[in-house]
Structure 1
Amino acid sequence: MDWRLDPKAFLRSLFESALEVADPASQVARHLTEKPIGRLIVIGAGKASAKMAKAVEAHWPDVAMTGLVVTRYGHAVACEKIEIVEAAHPVPDSAGEEAAKRILQMVTGLDADDLVLVLISGGGSSLLSLPAPGLSLADKKSINAALLKSGATISEINCVRKHLSAIKGGRLGIRIAPARSITLLISDVPGDDPKVIASGPTFGEEMSAADALGILNKYGISLSTEVERHLQSPSAECPGPNDARLARATWRMIATPKMALEAAAQRAQANGVRPIILGDDLEGDARELGKAHAELALQYLGQGPKVLLSGGETSVKVVGNGRGGRNVEYLLSLCAHLGANAQIFGLAADTDGIDGIEEVAGAVIGPDTTGRAQTKGMDLNDFLDRNDAHTFFEALGDQIITGPTLTNVNDFRAILIS
């Protein structure tokens, strides 16, 4: 593709390359090397879990298996042997709670010859929601919603989730023992830490309940008496990384943000554009990152065609009542700080197809974005202040709408300096 003819279409093609390399249909089979001897139970959670389950069935058509995976509403893929349940994300609901109970029941009482295949991808933490004894789903939903609006990082949010859960933070893993488990992971977290993805249901945890309580206090989140009492009790502690019950738990990372960025970089290079990968684990405030990337892009002007690629997961401190998401918030800030520059275009999107709670992956900008908005009587900074970026890009027709991609390797950002 000649990027000079349609820079925005070129950026979309880079996003498509990122999605292709993270497709469970092509990645799962590469990591299923040996057939099980005893029973095979397939369980999992996440936005990609149903497509991962379908790939398992396709790779082992002659293997007897049972199982259940839970995915987001609208993300189901029909399977023959593995049951698919849909539940709510990012705020959990009773469907996810019931699915978590059933998964725990499925892996109870296994023996050493059995194999449990655990399919985990981003979104699994909300979808696999089972409150610790003494807590209610309402407790978890309230805290989860407050954390999502607070600006807390995904690592902080997952630390809290683990210590309020009966299944996360290694608790699923110890229930599987003495059977063997293999966890296949699609990473949506900065650094690809397997303990963080979906709050690490099969991984021991190093952080403590006191750490979780400290995070909640840090962001000024009010707690019920039951939650506070739980976090101060020994029962809130997760199994540690060296817990003997996790000795037969292994894992394999099948898709990561880095893989997605490298695929986009290869496509850019093939089209005569020099790729510069800024990092696959960028965090922090979306608005501030947009400003920093605008300043960086402006420094590269006049040095030949380049594309700045980055991934990770930013956060948004919600102060307005608009329709927003971290990618479009970043993009609106990027546009505001670039000014009217005829040589810079940008794209930011979530690889799962959902930015915030909107069924919109993200958006694109160009040098005409601010001017087109002004002709419609729209002030860019006003939309930014109200956290209303989805409304802004919808009005301009610059949204990226993919539908459920059935994968999730976090955010994808590309800035083309032409």
Structure 2
Amino acid sequence: MFDNLSDKLDKALHVLKGHGSITEVNVAETLKEVRRALIDADVNFKTAKDFTNRVKEKALGQNVLTSLQPGQLMVKLVKDELTELMGGDATGIDLSGSPSVILMSGLQGSGKTTFSGKLANYLKTKKTKKPLLVACDVYRPAAIDQLHVVGDAIKVEVYSDRDEKNPVKIAQDGIAFAKANGHNVVIIDTAGRLAVDEAMMTEIKEVHKAIQPQETLFVVDSMTGQDAVNTAKAFNDILNFDGVILTKLDGDTRGGAAISIKSVVDKPIKFIGTGEKMEAIDVFYPSRMADRILGMGDVVSLVERAQEQFDEEEARKLQKKIAKDQFGFDDFLKQIQQVKKMGNMKDLMGMIPGAGKMMKDIDIDDDAFKHIEAIIHSMTPGERTDPSSINASRKKRIGKGSGTSVQQVNQLLKQFNQMSKMMKMMQGGGGRKMMQMMNRMR
């Protein structure tokens, strides 16, 4: 996420981070490089120039040149200014209606239908809501079918009317259906449209006027950079939307949209999409994003994701097994599943301070634990419970059954034994070390 921008900003601030002489000249040179990095990331030139001017003004005003740690103070000023540029504080969504109505808008191909499902899943699992998805895209072939597939995947009901061709009527009927069936949130998925298509823009304006949603969200593909910002402005002029959703932030995004969209349309980014899975949705926190852009990681988000997967009862059972030397591969498999539920592996590594920089040229896919799982699944129940019973002939059978080599089976057994010993030594505090061991085992 923002790897290129992070790398360029790190290089720009490198001189000031060191212990060399800090002068007004090299501060100006550094900020020139910062501005160049922002422009390369597709941030609007005026926005980038205003940004560096504000940082310079604050730097000179806070006596950065005579500070004991001028480099650190300068990085903090850049971080604070980035945070403000992206909106300052996180902004939630309005769920006050009965039902709450959320209208999704955006360009064709921006990921609107998929994100409608992610948002429904988020509201269902995190906010204990009973959402209803409403299919109002009457133009794109199979759009209704796609929303039904998404709804089935997350077990959320979808309202559609294949015979009706008026999106306003479908939206109104969907809300009426929600009221009659106990749904307290309605997410209206509309057709993608171009800002220059006057008829389509008029149509969504009419839908908006007819249903008076609590939230109107503009979904934009973050990989389109500055074009995304310009499109957001055109949509905002028509809809006066409440917030922005940035999708595909897990791709090779340049970051310009995330950094400058708030300053152009004066509307907050509310959520971001960080992967293909239905769980790959995050509330947008400007401060945390600024930390990640500057290579500082995002430990708070990492801890929050870990806590979401934490089960106190399971943790107590696991602790007892560790104490009695009964921790086996079935238990280990459960731990892997919990880590996988936390999200994309490269994204998780990027949340650890310093790790993002080390991992930037390493591709980690979502199947990072695939060969480990295959080896474990090739073991018998007895072997998983008692790994010490796995002799040479069993290793050969397990390797063959899992499509791996005996060497890989040996490596897993060795690392598993090391981890088991470490966990017993540490007892309650082994979780962090365990994750480190699991990362080495990929």
> TM-score, with normalisation over the residues of structure 1?
0.31
> TM-score, with normalisation over the residues of structure 2?
0.30
